[in-house]
Structure 1
């Protein structure tokens, strides 16, 4: 079948289908796409973002308000840095802090959200030891004095002595990629059966680590890795419990602390039953902590991660300044019998995380939330079977709505859809609130709303024609190439005048007056039509807004009405493309015996007024301002500098690594200060 006959056949089929058939086909297509997304055959970013937003809303709604009295954060805050000196503190100071946490305040267990990777030489002991081996080795009194001072000046040794006497869990980092080096001593790996380790193929494999000094790690009560996975939108919603390193499995800091608090229980991994014909290992589903006091099952995903049980946005845990601990200013029972995490909320130490409950949550509180959830045995979880449940719900809703909506009035159709949305939301919230079950929501909600929209579209076909007329009217003010994009979401756009940072382009034909005097009027008009069409096509291809034609000049701008964060780059790319399009146009002109055209282009960025402006007789969507005037001046300078495109300093700054040649610093009419001008080169 030829291409033309196939097109004719398809057109006949389309004309033969009724509105109901089209509605049913589109509804089933929508069901197929959403089901494919749920099964992860395709990824729809908008649904992923919506699911994340709905999940974040549930986290905030169900976040526990009461302060968890079991866990306390000793905070290296701004006040601590002001009183005790800049970070990092020497090990003697850290040893004093830890000693006070246990001896003076009676803490139960301490976890460090920091790494002690390098030897502390701030006391000067290495220098003194070098002198005893060098110039002063014959000075017995000096050597004896150094030996006497060694216990005091050996800061790492003093800290090791404190760690030996108290239950402290140290933190370490795992790394991959270019940062995958290995330094420091790792703690013992988790006691997991070799067969279970081999099956856990979904765990992230980290080839590198940055761990603590062997002297410190060997005497500590344990060690757990730090860090949490960050979702594509930059939000931390999960926390790793397990990670693979050098064929061993290590635990996160909260998991190691929880095991110590629960009596160091045995640890087993649970996996899903393998599917028929499955070639990869079965996915990890849970971690079991088994002790004489019973078993605790922690649901995890294939990567050994759990959803974090965040508490309220602020005040979920008691914070005490490290300076107050060292100075003994805390109440006597502030830390007694409690689990302590030592970390920092100081912004300068860069340990802040974006979470569903707080845009800047200290990383130590992420560990505190996970530890609290592990101890309570209450972690939100999303089992693998929820994917199949979502597909079943999608199918049920699609069949129900495709059958019922065509029979209902528009008001009844909206009412039914709203009722189903509310019912679905209630079930999702009940599942979370009752058992911490996280049910996917975005695909089902989108299906309901899109099927309603589909019904309303076909039901209001006449109104859609009125919408097209409205779009045609709207096109009087907005360039047609962007009207279609704007009409998809008209509420986002406002034609009233506003200030915005945009980029404007002026293009003008050099020597146009001479050309116009030498050509007949009809030929000149034809040539100008060809030229303006070619240049406008280039501007449209680069998402520019065509402002106006002023004789042989073209004015266009970028960044409005549709926002464009790369407006400067797109404008410069358009200017260079306009120059690149001239040779082909000139060849066509030469065939007709017409002279070749040369153009000069000026581009400038800045804050300008954009909007629907004019008189009651005629209006236009245009730009005004000093930045616009400067672009016109730059265009006028292009002939003097024999440059195809000249850009102002503001545009140059927004081009980033785009190659440019600085031309001059010039005085521009209307400006007191000189202006630096540049010529952009082919990228």
Structure 2
């Protein structure tokens, strides 16, 4: 059976056999697994792991670049603070002098990451430098609403006035707001905030596609330690225009970012910090975002539909894995393939340049585990329920070895009907109904139980399945729930042994009990629908179909045939035994098609079996000779009532036709 069919059947069985409470709990867990596999970045206990996983991928595949020729950082460093004897605010005379020099060098744009939020003695000189600027210049702007930890109301009022005083110049305000996650790491471009102008990097170089971009910052890493990704020059070098001319090539045509690179001030952790132990000043974060814009289109993310599809695939794969019937070592290749798929996909996407922030890499793994455990526990619960059912019921009508196998593999005991080829045995005890009217009910029950126990022992000893008891009748079959190569042999031997058990029973009746008739047995092979039937409240493992009816009619035919055990040709040919003797063709009661019948006769000489078959075959060509030969054979066995009955039937049946039983 294809593996998908087994998965499907097992899933249907779990669905059907799981109680409402457990089923609801399982579905709830599957829903949780799906949500975890999709929204793990929004779950408090998982988001830290997702961020860590993302940081590793970002560090692993961050572009290793030479020094960027498009951007230069001009910085106040710790030596500048020592020389100017100012730490906060930064010395504005130095800035004014540097701006005049940079403006003359032909910079493409200038972005200043310094807040002018309080008055200084050098403000007039700085404002004069700003008003004289020809290079497009943006100065830092912030407000209390978005940055209340660094600016207060009075500072914002001064900053607003400072910006207004530059109206009509080449100098405009820009937001320097950067965004960090709850763990303090700057991974994403900041979201737009009301009351703030355009972000500094977007203002310096507007690029289509980045106007509303809020994805991840694509950090670059230096290809070598001695050449950082962005050139960083001390601002002191630009105070004297004559000395700064040597640096003109470092500025001309480039975007210039001016700000602080001071120990322990404006430092940001990045996705690479955990690996490199290096933080990044805010000015360099702006440089990274500006370089990202200049590199090309925004970093793409997987669409929402694709994330849902992968989450559903995760749950489906976990469910199918939990329902598989493979052993652990056979399961390893499938687990390896899923680990490669769900564990490798985020890495592959990051390598291909896809933004994997908010990609639930850890969530896929956790969702898989939840779904696997949810369906696995449901399957184990159903399996335990089926084992309890099997242990309580199978031992009553299945052989021990088959019952043990069913307990180990409950799915072999179909809880629905399935078509099987089986050997069917019907028995009936002649005269028991009449006897039961003449003795006490207690004795009837005692005798019936003893008789049925004897025949049941025969069935189970020969590997058969007890279908049912109908009064004193026993119905059994071979070939289900587990079929074995020797089912035909066992069924035939059991049919004969059941007749013998019946004979032993009638020889050992209690004193005072009238004699009882023989046990009649019918054996047939054919197709039947086998399974548990009867509804939820009361079920019975049984077989239904024409083969059952044929076996019953063969049993009943024994009375008309003066025989005890009778089998169809279909059962005889598949029994693997050579003790059968042909008993002609008959039309069973209620049937129109003739049936060739055979009787087990282990003591009947093989030579006479072949002779009898030749006689029956010869009747079609020379009826008189055949009748004469059959009469001679019957005469040699005067006590064989079944053989004499055969002669009677042949004698009274037109040539080539079958005897019709009443």
Compute the TM-score of the two structures, normalised by the length of structure 1. Answer: 0.31
Please give the TM-score of this superposition, normalised by the length of structure 2. Answer: 0.32
Which protein is bigger by CA-based radius of gyration?
2
Higher helix fraction (1 or 2): 2
